[in-house]
Chains A and B, each alone.
Chain A
C-alpha cells in the first residue's frame, strides 16, 4: 500500500500540471487543437487512476480547457469524485470545476446532494464555505428544495464567514424554490441587525433584491432600513438601501423626497468631496439634482464615465424640467464631439428634447457637421434619423424656415450607404405637400436631384438613398407648374439609366413623366412653333418603350398606358389639334392633405347601409394582402387622386365660393387670414438660389443650409429692431412710466416663423381643404454665396497648422531636453538597471548590465535606468532593442503595468493602461535605442515593474503578433547619481550627525582593492573621495538629494563597508545590492 502511494507520487512527478499545460498551449500556437487533444487523452488516463491527487490535477486542467471552449461534460462524474475528497485542496478544485462546468441539466448533480449536505455540516468552516460557493453557481430547484433547511441553519452559524455566505446563497435558493422564503424570512430579517457588518450587508443585499421583485411585502421594513441608512457608513450597503427605497417609493410617496435626494448624492459621492456632501443636504432635492448634474459636467473628474451618467441623468431631468437642461445646450453639443459613441448617442437623445425655434437651426447645423465627419454607417444613420426627428417633431413646430429644411434634406441625400432614404423621401413629400409656399423652392431642388440622379444611384451600395428619387420625381411631377425648365427635367426622368432603379420608383417616374409632359405641352403649345410640342411627344414615344418592357408589373402597366396616350396625342398633334388643355385636365386638381382619420368624421349619408352587401360575396374569399399604410402621402400618389376632368373653371369657382362661406360660418375651420391675400407677392420674394447645374449637387448643397441660418438671424434681428422701434414709440408715448427693459435674448414667442406648416391632425375638419398659410417673407434677399462657411474652414486650417507647429516645437524641446540630459549623464559613469526575462518559469535576477529578453530570441533588449538630474521624481530608462532574428519587427508597443510608486509617463491624453509605441521599426540585425521616462514617488525601495512588449513579426509570407513579458528592475542603485565630493565637504557631512549608519561585511572577496573600488563605482554610481591604502571613502547622491557615504576597508578577503545615509531604508537596500554584486563574482 505504502509502496503504491510512493509509486503514485513518483509517477506524478512526470505528469503535467496546470502550469505545464498552460505553457504547452502557449508554445503550440500553430497546432493548438492537436496539442490539446493529446492533453485530453492524458487527462483521461489520469482520471482512471486511483490517486485522488492525480485526479484533482486532471480536473484542474479540465477546468482550464473548459474555459478555452472545450467540452468537458464527459468528466462530470470525475468532478464529483474530486468534490468528495476529504482534503480541502482537492475538494476546492472539485467544487471549482463543478461551478464552472455544471448547469441545471447536468444529471450528476443529483448525485451531489448528499455530498454537499455533508460538506455543509462539516466542522471545518472552509469546507462549508467552499460548498456554499460552489452551490451558488449550480443550484437547481431540486438542490434548493433538498438543501434549503441546511442552508437556513447555516444562517445562524457561529462564524460570520459562513453566515454571510449562507445569507447570500439563500437568495439563490429563494429564486429556485420560492416556498423556502416564508420560513426563512424571519431569520433573514434578524440578520439585518447582525453584529458582523459583512453579514448585515449580505442581508441588505438579499432583501433589496427580493424587494425589487415584489416591493409591497417589504414596505414594513422601511423604518428599519432608514435606521440602517443613517447609521451605516459602508457605501456599498448604502447604495443597496437607496435602491431598495427606489423600489419602495412608488408605493409610499412619503419616502420619495428623501430617497431622490440621497440617491443622487450617493450616485455622485465617489466624485464629490465630503464637504459638498454635507452642505447640500439642506437644499431642496431638485436644486441639488440640478447642481449635481452641473458638477458632473463641469468638474470632469472622471470624464467619460461621469459624462455618460450625467447625460443619462439629464435626460431624466429633461422630462420634468426642460428649461434647466436647455441652458446646458453648449455642453451637450460638445458631447457630440466625443470620441465615444455611447456618449454621442446619449447627447443626441438629449438634443431631441431640447430644441426650440430659437436653437433648431444651430443644433441641426452642428449635427450636419457631424454627419460629414461621422465614421461608421450606424452612427451616421442614427444622426440622420435624429436630425429628421428633431426637425419634424410635433408637426414641424420648431421649423421657422422651410427652405432651410428642404436644403438640409437635400444635403442629407449625399450620405453614402444610408438606409434611411425612405425617411428623407417621406419628409420631402410631407413638406412639399403641406407647405404650399415652399413648393417652388422644393421643386427647383428636386429637379436638381433628378438631374444628378446618377450620383445617387451610381453605386449599388447606396440603394437606400435612391428612395429620395421617388420623392423628387413625384414632387417635380405634381408641382410641375413651378419648374423653371420642365423639359430638362422630363428628359432627366426618361433617361435609360432610370431602368436600373427599383420598380416602385420607376413607376413614379413614369407617372410623373406624364404629368411633366402635360406641363411641357401647355407651355410649348402657347408658342407659335408647333414642332417643339411634337418633338416632346416624340421623346416620350422614344423613351417609354424601355419601361413597357419592365419586369415590374406596375411600371409596365403605367408605361404602356401612357405610351398609348402619347401616341394618340401625337396623332392629334399631327392634325394640328390643340391638346394641351385636355392633357392637363388628366392631372388637374390640387392635392390637399387630409388627416389620417378624417374619413371617420364624414357622416354616413341617409339611406346608405354600409354593412349590407352590394354583391353577394364570392364563395371563396379572396385574400387580399393589404399594404400597411405607411403614410398618407405615399398612399395618395398611388390611388386616391380626385380628378375633376369635367368640371370647368366656372363651376370650380362657384364651388369654392360656397365652401368659403360654409367655412366662415363654421367655428372649427381655421379662417383664412388676411395675410393669405399677400401670398402671391410673397412667393415672389422667396429667395431661390441659383443652382449651377454643371456642378454636381455638392455646390448647391452645403452652403445653402448655412445660409439660412444666417438669413434667419438677420430676419430675427430685423424683427427685433422693428419691435424695438415700436417699443421706443410706445415708450415715448408712455413717457417715463416704464423703466429700462432688459434687452436680453429674445424669448421663444418673439420668433416668427417664415413659413407655416399645414398641421393636419385629428382636430382638423374632415375635409380640410382650405388652409391658412401665412407667409412672412424673409426680410432680406440672401447673399449669393455665403462666405461664413469658407471663412471658417480657412480659419480652421490655420489653426491646425498652428497646432502642428506647436507640436513640432514641443517635440524639439523634448529632444533638446533629452540631449541635454544625456550629455550630463555622459560624463558620469554608465548607470544600469536590469531587465529580466519572464518567459521561463523562474525569473532569474541578474545584475549584469545587459540581459537578453526572450529565450528564443527574436529580440535582445538592453536596459539602462538612470535618474533624471533635473527632476527628483523622474527616471529615464533607455532600452536598446536589437533584432536578432531574420524577420522584420514592427509596431512595437511598450507597456508597463504601473504600480503605486512608479508610473510610465505617457503622452497627454493617453490612458493609464495604454502602451507606448516604440518610434521605430527593426529590420533584421538592427538595433536602436528608445527612452521611456518613469515617474517615481519613493526611491528608497527597489522595485520591479512588469511590462509587456508587443510587436509584430513580419515574414515574407506571414506576420504574427508576439508578446514579450519582462520585468524592469529599478534597483536603488539606479536612483544614485555619481557626484564628485571633496574630502572636506565629505568630512563635514559625516560630522553633521544627520546621517544614519549601517554596515555590511563581504566575505571571500578575492580581487585587488582598486578593482573592488572600480566595481562599486561602476555598478553603484559612487565616486571615490579619498583612498588610503586598503581603506577608501566613497560618496554618492540620490536623485532626490540623499547623501550616501561609504567607508570601505579590506583585510584578507574580507571587505567591510560602513555606510551612512540620511535615509536608512535606501541605505540598506543599496548595501544589499552591493552585496549581491560581489556575491555574483
Chain B
C-alpha cells in the first residue's frame, strides 16, 4: 500500500496517510489527481482504477470517498476489504460514523488507522483485537487528561 486518502464529495481532503515517504509537492499533485479522477467516476462503476503504475481502489461510504493506492501486484479485493474494515472500525468507535466525526476528530481517525495498518501493511486482522487496542488507548488517554485538550 502506498497511501490512503479520505476526501469528501466536494474533493475536500479529510484524511491522508502516506505509507511511503513522499515529497510535499508530489503529495499535493497526487491528491489533486486522485480527487479529480475518483470524483469523476459515476456511481455504480467498479471500484478500481489504474493510475501511473499503481492500482487505485476506492469506495464511497456516505459522503466520503476512501481511496487506497496499492502496488500492481497487490490484491484489489483485499484492498477493498481493508477499506471496509477501516470503516467498520471507525463505525465501532464513533458509533454510526459520519463525515463530521472524522472532520472534528481527525486525530482519532488517525490513531485508529495506526492500530490497524502500519507502514502500509495490515497490522492486525482481527477486528476485535484492534477495537480492544483502541479502547485501551483511549481510556489511557482519558485517564491522563485532566483538562480539556
User: A residues within 8 Å of B by Cβ?
Assistant: 9, 12, 17-19, 22-23, 26, 53, 56-57, 60, 63-64, 67-69, 71, 73, 87-89, 92-93, 96, 100, 103-105, 126, 132-133, 136-138, 140, 161, 164-165, 168-169, 171-172, 197-198, 201-202, 205-206, 209, 212, 234, 236-237, 239, 243, 267, 270, 304-305, 307-309, 339-343, 838, 895, 897, 899, 909-911, 913-914, 944-946, 948, 961, 963, 965
Known: A22-B103, A164-B123. A895 touches B42 (CB 8 A): no
Known: A17-B148, A22-B103, A946-B96. A205 touches B122 (CB 8 A): yes
Contact A133 B122 (CB under 8 A): no
Contact B126 A198 (CB under 8 A): yes
Contact B149 A17 (CB under 8 A): yes
Selected A-B contacts with CB under 8 Å, 10 pairs: A22-B104, A63-B107, A73-B24, A100-B16, A104-B21, A140-B21, A205-B122, A309-B77, A897-B97, A961-B10
B15 within 8 A of A: yes
Contact A267 B123 (CB under 8 A): no
Contacts of B98 in A (CB 8 A): 897, 946, 948, 965
Contact B60 A342 (CB under 8 A): no
Contact B44 A126 (CB under 8 A): no
The distance in angstroms between the C-alpha atoms of A961 and B137, with both chains bound, is: 38
- Identify B75's interface contact among A69, A243, A895, CB under 8 A: A243
B49 within 8 A of A: yes
Contact A136 B118 (CB under 8 A): yes
Looking at the assembled complex, report how far the CB atom of A963 sits from the nearest CB atom of chain B, in whole angstroms: 8
* With A171-B121, A270-B77 already in contact, 19 other A-B pairs whose C-beta atoms are closer than 8 Å: A9-B147, A18-B106, A69-B13, A71-B24, A73-B24, A89-B144, A96-B107, A96-B114, A126-B140, A137-B21, A197-B126, A198-B125, A209-B121, A212-B73, A339-B45, A341-B45, A342-B48, A895-B62, A910-B43
Looking at the assembled complex, report how far the CB atom of A160 sits from the nearest CB atom of chain B, in whole angstroms: 9
Contacts of B22 in A (CB 8 A): 103
Looking at the assembled complex, report how far the CB atom of B4 sits from the nearest CB atom of chain A, in whole angstroms: 12
B80 within 8 A of A: yes
B52 within 8 A of A: no
Tell me the B17-56 residues at the A interface (CB within 8 Å). Answer: 17-19, 21-24, 28, 42-49
Residue of B nearest to A263 (CB): B75
Q: Which 5 A-B pairs have the closest CB atoms?
A: A136-B119, A340-B45, A304-B46, A236-B125, A308-B46
Contact A164 B114 (CB under 8 A): no
Residue of B nearest to A9 (CB): B147
Looking at the assembled complex, report how far the CB atom of B83 sits from the nearest CB atom of chain A, in whole angstroms: 12
Contact B106 A198 (CB under 8 A): no
The distance in angstroms between the C-alpha atoms of A92 and B140, with both chains bound, is: 11
Tell me the B109-124 residues at the A interface (CB within 8 Å). Answer: 110-111, 114, 118-124
The distance in angstroms between the C-alpha atoms of A18 and B97, with both chains bound, is: 19
Contact A339 B141 (CB under 8 A): no
CB-based A-B contact count at 8 angstroms: 175
Known: A18-B149, A913-B60. A305 touches B24 (CB 8 A): no
Known: A93-B107, A198-B123, A305-B80. A342 touches B46 (CB 8 A): yes
User: B interface, how many residues as a size bin?
Assistant: 35 or more
Contact A96 B111 (CB under 8 A): yes
Contacts of A171 in B (CB 8 A): 119, 121
The distance in angstroms between the C-alpha atoms of A197 and B77, with both chains bound, is: 22
Contact B13 A304 (CB under 8 A): no
The distance in angstroms between the C-alpha atoms of A133 and B120, with both chains bound, is: 11
Contacts of A342 in B (CB 8 A): 45-46, 48-49
Contacts of A911 in B (CB 8 A): 43-44, 60
Contacts of B110 in A (CB 8 A): 96, 100
Contact B149 A92 (CB under 8 A): no
Known: A309-B77, A339-B45, A965-B98. A234 touches B125 (CB 8 A): yes
Can you list, as one digit per residue, whether each of B62-96 has a CB less than 8 Å from chain A (1) or not (0)? 11000000000101111011000000000000001
The distance in angstroms between the C-alpha atoms of A64 and B103, with both chains bound, is: 9
Residue of B nearest to A160 (CB): B129
Looking at the assembled complex, report how far the CB atom of A159 sits from the nearest CB atom of chain B, in whole angstroms: 11
The distance in angstroms between the C-alpha atoms of A140 and B137, with both chains bound, is: 27
Contacts of A209 in B (CB 8 A): 121
Looking at the assembled complex, report how far the CB atom of B25 sits from the nearest CB atom of chain A, in whole angstroms: 11
The distance in angstroms between the C-alpha atoms of A338 and B130, with both chains bound, is: 38
Contacts of B76 in A (CB 8 A): 305, 309
The distance in angstroms between the C-alpha atoms of A168 and B115, with both chains bound, is: 12
Contact B45 A205 (CB under 8 A): no
Contact A168 B21 (CB under 8 A): no
Contacts of B15 in A (CB 8 A): 67
The distance in angstroms between the C-alpha atoms of A304 and B42, with both chains bound, is: 12
Contact A92 B111 (CB under 8 A): yes
Contact A267 B77 (CB under 8 A): yes
Contacts of B45 in A (CB 8 A): 304, 339-343
Known: A17-B149, A104-B21. A137 touches B119 (CB 8 A): yes
Known: A103-B22, A342-B46, A897-B96. A67 touches B16 (CB 8 A): yes
Contacts of B119 in A (CB 8 A): 136-137, 168-169, 171-172
Contact A236 B63 (CB under 8 A): no
Looking at the assembled complex, report how far the CB atom of A86 sits from the nearest CB atom of chain B, in whole angstroms: 10
The distance in angstroms between the C-alpha atoms of A67 and B125, with both chains bound, is: 28
Residue of A nearest to B82 (CB): A236
The distance in angstroms between the C-alpha atoms of A972 and B97, with both chains bound, is: 22
Residue of A nearest to B26 (CB): A103
The distance in angstroms between the C-alpha atoms of A9 and B97, with both chains bound, is: 32
The distance in angstroms between the C-alpha atoms of A92 and B144, with both chains bound, is: 13
Contact A60 B149 (CB under 8 A): yes
The distance in angstroms between the C-alpha atoms of A205 and B82, with both chains bound, is: 14
- Identify A305's interface contact among B28, B49, B77, B103, CB under 8 A: B77
Contacts of A126 in B (CB 8 A): 136-137, 140
The distance in angstroms between the C-alpha atoms of A53 and B18, with both chains bound, is: 27
Looking at the assembled complex, report how far the CB atom of B28 sits from the nearest CB atom of chain A, in whole angstroms: 6
Contact A913 B61 (CB under 8 A): yes
Contact A339 B77 (CB under 8 A): no
Contact B96 A945 (CB under 8 A): yes
The distance in angstroms between the C-alpha atoms of A951 and B45, with both chains bound, is: 24
Contact A239 B78 (CB under 8 A): yes
Contacts of A136 in B (CB 8 A): 19, 118-120
Contacts of A60 in B (CB 8 A): 107, 149
Contact B149 A103 (CB under 8 A): no
The distance in angstroms between the C-alpha atoms of A618 and B76, with both chains bound, is: 63
Contacts of A944 in B (CB 8 A): 96
The distance in angstroms between the C-alpha atoms of A243 and B21, with both chains bound, is: 25
The distance in angstroms between the C-alpha atoms of A305 and B81, with both chains bound, is: 12
The distance in angstroms between the C-alpha atoms of A53 and B78, with both chains bound, is: 40
- The residue among A89, A140, A212, A237 with the most chain B CB atoms within 10 A of its own CB is A89
Contact B121 A205 (CB under 8 A): yes
- Identify B21's interface contact among A138, A234, A339, CB under 8 A: A138
Contacts of A138 in B (CB 8 A): 21
Residue of B nearest to A308 (CB): B46
- The residue among B16, B60, B99, B118 with the most chain A CB atoms within 10 A of its own CB is B118
Contacts of A18 in B (CB 8 A): 104, 106-107, 149
The distance in angstroms between the C-alpha atoms of A57 and B78, with both chains bound, is: 36
Looking at the assembled complex, report how far the CB atom of A640 sits from the nearest CB atom of chain B, in whole angstroms: 43
Known: A137-B18, A309-B77, A342-B46. A202 touches B13 (CB 8 A): no
Known: A57-B149, A168-B123, A171-B121. A137 touches B43 (CB 8 A): no
Contacts of B61 in A (CB 8 A): 913
Contact A133 B43 (CB under 8 A): no
Contacts of A12 in B (CB 8 A): 147
Contacts of A945 in B (CB 8 A): 96
Looking at the assembled complex, report how far the CB atom of A841 sits from the nearest CB atom of chain B, in whole angstroms: 9
Contact B63 A201 (CB under 8 A): no
Contact A103 B23 (CB under 8 A): yes
Residue of A nearest to B8 (CB): A963
Contacts of B24 in A (CB 8 A): 71, 73, 103
Residue of B nearest to A69 (CB): B28
The distance in angstroms between the C-alpha atoms of A164 and B129, with both chains bound, is: 12
The distance in angstroms between the C-alpha atoms of A22 and B106, with both chains bound, is: 10
Contacts of B122 in A (CB 8 A): 201, 205, 236
